[in-house]
Amino acid sequence: MLPLSSCLHSCICFYAVLLLVALLILYPRFVKMRRYRNQAAEADIPPGSCGLPLIGETIQFMAAMNNGRGFYDFVRARRLSRYGNCFKTNILGLPQVFVSSTESARKILNNESGKFTKRYIKSIAELVGDQSLLCASHGHHKLIRGCLSYLFSTSSVSVFIKQFDELVVKSLGSWQDGDKIVVLHQATEITFKAMCRMLMSLENEPELQMLQEDITHVCEAMLAFPIRLPWTRFYKGLKARKRIMSSLDLIMTERRRCSHGNQKDFMQCLLVEDEKAGSDETYRMTDTEIKDNILTMIIAGQDTTASAITWMVKYLGENQDVLDTLRAEQLHRAEKMSPGQFLTLEDLAEMPYASKVVKESLRMASVVPWFPRLALQDCEIEGFKIKKGWNVNVDATSIHLDPNQYNEPNKFNPSRFNDDSKAPYSFLAFGMGARTCLGVNMAKAMMLVFLHRLITTYKWKVMDSDSSIEKWTLFSRLKSGCPVQVTCINHGKDVTST
Ligand code: HEM
């Protein structure tokens, strides 16, 4: 028995070794074959890494959010050094494609043949409300946008410019010679007050302060994990939303009780329209739609504009030649105005160089870095297959910094907009297509008014040239807030004496 069992044992060992050797030889070939087969199957899928199972490249994305270069750095790193104009990744288990050519931007933002819809995250809808313009489905969005668009008419913008100028003059008038000012803080305060006044005539300081705190909670929660525990950012955001909704409810009830009051603000227009529409059977916005969209407009209009103003002041501080040209134009305009006069839409139309400064600042800053959409059907972008259900993001930042679109794209050069020869879809600061920013004219007007008052009243020196981006913000925001030291200039007219 023993010799037989020992013989059997040797035999097994021999075959085991043979199998192992065969495996060692064959395995690399097998892996190579499999990779080849996968490549063949995925040849027309955008290049990129899907990262780890389930979580994909979420950790790398979060790490980018946490570094001073901002979450766009995640995209920049992949696009520039690895994959090119179109790549695929996976964040939080969702396939994400980033595209950065003007042709793809046209296809996606124009929503050719209804292939794309706006992508929104469910937790964001809980915070801004599922009746918000940002989250509404295609058909519903059209109805609500129709009701809101007319609020942004030229006459509304004209009224708004005067109100905004009043606020800027008051705020800048309180600065003292030599003061250190954080531009972002000042701009945020002014734009917030302007939004609240335009939307619902809210001017009471304690109420404004409470609302501002709640809006900040909601914005912070929009980027947080949707965990509903009392100490989480998401939970605090939900609570803040609830308080905001209650306040809006109170204001609306009061307006109806006092048979509309005298206010000529957005809320009043929507309430009156609501009643008119009720009688002739056209579409009427419900109270929830009105409230969700008032909140949406505060969020969409305040931080974006304040961030854009801050970047603009920083770029100007770094580009003395541009500043000199701009100051000459603006002082000339100031001389044409009588003391105490507020700016008008017509005045702003007479500021060609300042308008280019605004446009160039928006291009360089790309305050909204990319626009998320959802593919509603299988389609093709940049020669790659896009599958139904994938998220496709139009990378506006890359387009704004593409040397094929803009010569020396990292140079702050407003004169590049001297002619109108830029390619379609190469300037996307306010988006394009059916989802174009509703407040585009107001945003530009706010930037021009702030610029005019700042440059005709003060000289300034940027105290911190750090370009780091703030962590965990929805929009590209300068971390330092752009602290400046201001010096009053006396050019013979006291525009702040109102
Ligand atoms: C410099 C300031 C601003 C910038 C850079 C900006 C940028 C944008 C962009 C890029 C979009 C489109 C996003 C997409 O397609 O996914 C958008 C949408 C929107 N913006 Fe602005 N915005 C600014 C100021 C404002 C202001 C002042 C308001 C209004 C009070 C406003 C209200 C809206 C609304 C309501 C939408 C949603 C439109 C829709 O989905 O139909 N924005 N904004």
Q: List, as one string, the DSSP characters of 351-378.
A: -HHHHHHHHHHHHHH-SS-EEEEEESS-
Task: Name the band, by pLDDT with cuts 50, 70 and 90, for residue 188.
Answer: very high
Q: Which residue owns the Cα nearest ligand 1 atom 11?
A: 437
Sign of CA dihedral 361, 362, 367, 369: negative
- Residue 305 CB less than 6 A away from ligand 1: yes
pLDDT digits (tens, 9 = 90+) for 314-331: 999 999 999 999 999 999
Nearest-atom index, ligand 1, CA of 141: 41
**What's the CA-to-centroid distance between 431 and ligand 1, angstroms?**
8
- Residue 157 CB less than 6 A away from ligand 1: no
CA 313 to CA 480: how far, in whole Å? 13
- Residue 433 CB less than 6 A away from ligand 1: no
Residue 379: in which H helix or E strand, if any?
Answer: strand 379-381
- Residue 371 CB less than 6 A away from ligand 1: yes
Which has the minimum average pLDDT: 169-173, 270-274, 275-279, 338-342? 275-279
Task: Name the band, by pLDDT with cuts 50, 70 and 90, for residue 9.
Answer: low
pLDDT greater at residue 80 or residue 385? 385
- Residue 183 CB less than 6 A away from ligand 1: no
Nearest-atom index, ligand 1, CA of 432: 15
pLDDT greater at residue 417 or residue 77? 417
Our CA angle for 152, 153, 158, nearest 5°, is 95
Residue 487: in which H helix or E strand, if any?
Answer: strand 483-488
Q: Which residue owns the Cα nearest ligand 1 atom 9?
A: 430
Average pLDDT over residues 48-76: 81
Task: Name the band, by pLDDT with cuts 50, 70 and 90, for residue 54.
Answer: confident
Average pLDDT over residues 409-437: 95
pLDDT at residue 214, rounded to an integer: 98
CA 431 to CA 376: how far, in whole Å? 20
Q: Which residue owns the Cα nearest ligand 1 atom 26?
A: 301
**What's the CA-to-centroid distance between 318 and ligand 1, angstroms?**
27
Average pLDDT over residues 409-438: 95
pLDDT at residue 42, rounded to an integer: 57
Note whether 113 and 74 are within 8 A (CB).
no
Reply yes or no on whether the pLDDT at 5 is more than 80.
no
% of residues, the chain, pLDDT over 70: 87
- Residue 133 CB less than 6 A away from ligand 1: yes
Nearest-atom index, ligand 1, CA of 191: 27
pLDDT at residue 464, rounded to an integer: 93
- Residue 432 CB less than 6 A away from ligand 1: no
Pocket test for ligand 1, best of 267, 297, 304 (most atoms within 8 A of CB): 304
Annotated binding site for heme: 437
pLDDT at residue 25, rounded to an integer: 56
**What's the CA-to-centroid distance between 300 and ligand 1, angstroms?**
6
Reply yes or no on whether the pLDDT at 114 is more than 70.
yes
Query: How confident is the prediction for the chain on average, in pLDDT?
Result: 88
Reply yes or no on whether the pLDDT at 19 is more than 60.
no
- Residue 85 CB less than 6 A away from ligand 1: no
User: DSSP code of 483?
Assistant: E
**What's the CA-to-centroid distance between 430 and ligand 1, angstroms?**
6
What is the model's pTM? 0.89
Length of the chain: 498
pLDDT greater at residue 453 or residue 2? 453
Task: Name the band, by pLDDT with cuts 50, 70 and 90, for residue 55.
Answer: confident
User: Hunting for tokens 């940027």 — which residue is that?
Assistant: 462
The residues, any chain, with a CB within 8 Å of residue 195's CB and separated by 6 or more, are 297, 298, 301, 302
Average pLDDT over residues 167-176: 96
- Residue 255 CB less than 6 A away from ligand 1: no
pLDDT greater at residue 13 or residue 73? 73
384 SS3 class: strand
Average pLDDT over residues 47-58: 85
CA 305 to CA 368: how far, in whole Å? 11
- Residue 86 CB less than 6 A away from ligand 1: no
- Residue 445 CB less than 6 A away from ligand 1: no
Reply yes or no on whether the pLDDT at 224 is more than 70.
yes
- Residue 131 CB less than 6 A away from ligand 1: no
**What's the CA-to-centroid distance between 332 and ligand 1, angstroms?**
32
Reply yes or no on whether the pLDDT at 492 is more than 50.
no
Task: Name the band, by pLDDT with cuts 50, 70 and 90, for residue 103.
Answer: very high
Q: Which residue owns the Cα nearest ligand 1 atom 1?
A: 305
Reply yes or no on whether the pLDDT at 13 is more than 90.
no
Average pLDDT over residues 209-235: 94
pLDDT at residue 491, rounded to an integer: 52
Note whether 131 and 289 are within 8 A (CB).
yes
Our CA angle for 412, 417, 418, nearest 5°, is 120
CA 200 to CA 31: how far, in whole Å? 65
User: DSSP code of 342?
Assistant: P
Task: Name the band, by pLDDT with cuts 50, 70 and 90, for residue 72.
Answer: confident
Selection from 329, 342, 317 nearest residue 456 by Cα = 329
What ipTM was predicted for this assembly? 0.99
**What's the CA-to-centroid distance between 364 and ligand 1, angstroms?**
17
CA 344 to CA 332: how far, in whole Å? 16
Residue 75: in which H helix or E strand, if any?
Answer: helix 72-78
- Residue 160 CB less than 6 A away from ligand 1: no
- Residue 422 CB less than 6 A away from ligand 1: no
CA 479 to CA 142: how far, in whole Å? 36
pLDDT at residue 497, rounded to an integer: 38
Annotated binding site: 437
pLDDT digits (tens, 9 = 90+) for 267-324: 999 998 766 554 445 688 999 999 999 999 999 999 999 999 999 999 999 999 999 9
**What's the CA-to-centroid distance between 45 and ligand 1, angstroms?**
31
Average pLDDT over residues 117-126: 87
pLDDT greater at residue 63 or residue 433? 433
Pocket test for ligand 1, best of 290, 391, 437 (most atoms within 8 A of CB): 437
99 SS3 class: strand
- Residue 376 CB less than 6 A away from ligand 1: no
AA letter at 2: L
Reply yes or no on whether the pLDDT at 12 is more than 80.
no
Note whether 251 and 291 are within 8 A (CB).
no
The two most distant CA atoms of the chain are separated, in Å, by: 118
